Structure 1
């Protein structure tokens, strides 16, 4: 998959690119990707633009990646380990630890600003500030980098824990009690709910993604499940098991028919909230890594915790 604009676009501004990637499994794939770089260099020269090759990097994904050298305008691209792509830190190991640290640091900084900058601490005012200034740092593109390690989940949840203690009248209450009084959900539950909403948007073509490639359909069943059941892909690594397209499968398939066939996104969200409450689901699991999520005593459903979906082997970052 190549992340770029088409090189033959009519407007020069549409041809600008920051990064793209491609699946490389053989020498022919490597030559194809190098050919794309050659055409990019020719296009830049035709428009009298110069790339700063020293600031360009190639990141190789996969333990069996051959790590081929690539060149742009005669200069060899430096091999990097991590780059920021649309605000998300992407590491060559696909681990999300650095992104979690960055998100938590920004959120804690904004939380400190609120704590020190506002002397009048009304619960209503603080809640609004938290929703607008703090929580977006913890949920930006979270379906892409959602953590599965317990230490990362606790680090993210710790920001909301600290915030709830800022509210007057919350001393002596447990975290769950503070959430109930403030009308908030845990961030883990919000990620779970967001995963299901994103799945609905993909299957209903509300997002411009290839639904058939991400979520192969199982088809209708006379005995169990709804008509939009999906199946996970086979995998050989632990990292693949924690991708978004794998972790959401069982939970999505367990939803009632009236939820998945909602006629609009607003109706889906409303019916989804009712279904999650009825099932007693509060998150992907109190212990990340055991691949269980909390349900009521009569439920035996399970689902692993999410991380992301990335299905490329190489990624390039280019700058002028």
Structure 2
């Protein structure tokens, strides 16, 4: 394919970061893509459909970019609108600020605590300026305003996408397989990590949608994962998630766990929510 150098960018992903070839003189030739008029040199990061992708598949750059953009939008809201009523502020926040923080989030859902705190910090600051919430801590504000943490909402979006994969509403390009079991309902198969894969790829494997999606889906009880109507599934899923404690990691507070559904599923105090079923 003939590529226009000014319209394309080239990124190379390395499976083994300790590869000794990178230190050899001819390594640059290996990582270049030749075109009719020259060559494309690999870049460390690029923006693809609004998502900043890095060569090491780290989402910190993207998280900081969207957090800064959301803070600018929040500052504009507070400068233009003088009311601080919860009804008006929540409507503006959900439509103008939170939408920036959740665009395409099933793809880049972060696992680093610092990235999660960066995103939660935007919602934490915004809700602290809503009338009647100034004296409450962040976790109390979430309950008072009937808000989920951004972390919980990202996992919710992943589960919703899994439902669409199951029912053929979206293309199953990553070939996730589902099996139906009499007691636990419909479960998703978790693809195994190849034995020849480097140890450093374990975190990339665990955080990928192909693994995280099935793991989150498998935490749903049979009464929910067998629902065939999307509207009803979405309603029951939201009700189920709001029954699980939601205490995201924030700076200055110690948390019981990472607040992921996976961690709360392992917590003995919340096992009754799943009816004794295993993930």
Q: TM-score, normalised by structure 1?
A: 0.70
Cα displacement (A) at 1:120: 2.5
Distance 1:161 1:283, change over 3 A: closer
- The equivalent of 1:231 in structure 2 is 189
What residue number does 2:73 align with?
110
**What is the alpha-carbon distance in structure 1 between the residues aligned to residue 143 and residue 149 of structure 2?**
10
3-state SS of 2:181 partner: coil
Q: Distance in 2 between the 1:196 and 1:291 partners? A: 11
Aligned to 1:282: 246
Q: 1:283 touches 1:293 (CA, 8 Å); kept in 2?
A: no
Q: Which runs of 5+ in 1 are unaligned?
A: 1-36, 42-50, 304-320
Whether 2:25 is the aligned partner of 1:60: answer no
State the match for 1:215 in structure 2: 176
1:197-276 matches, cutoff 5 A = 197-210=160-173, 213-217=174-178, 219-222=179-182, 224-226=183-185, 228-235=186-193, 236=197, 237=201, 238-276=203-241
Q: Is the 8 A contact 2:149 2:248 kept in 1?
A: no
The change in CA–CA distance for 1:202 and 1:188 in structure 2 (over 3 A counts) is same
Larger radius of gyration: 1
Following the alignment from structure 2 to structure 1, what is the Cα–Cα distance between the partners of residues 63 and 278? 25
Aligned-residue CA RMSD (Å):
2.7
Instruction: Give the 5 Å matches for 1:5-44.
Output: 37=1, 40=2
Aligned ranges for residues 71-90 of structure 1 at < 5 Å? Answer: 71-90=34-53
Q: TM-score, normalised by structure 2?
A: 0.79
Alignment of 1:138 onto 2:98:
no
The structural deviation recorded for 1:292 is 5.0
Distance 1:289 1:120 in 2: 32
Q: Deviations over 1:160-191 (max 9, x none)?
A: 00011111121211212212221211111111
**C-alpha separation between the residues in 1 aligned to 2:221 and 2:278?**
16
Deviation, structure 1 residue 136: 0.8
2:252 match: none
- Equivalent residue pairs, number: 249
Tell me how far apart the structure 1 counterparts of residues 211 and 111 of structure 2 sit (CA, whole Å). 13
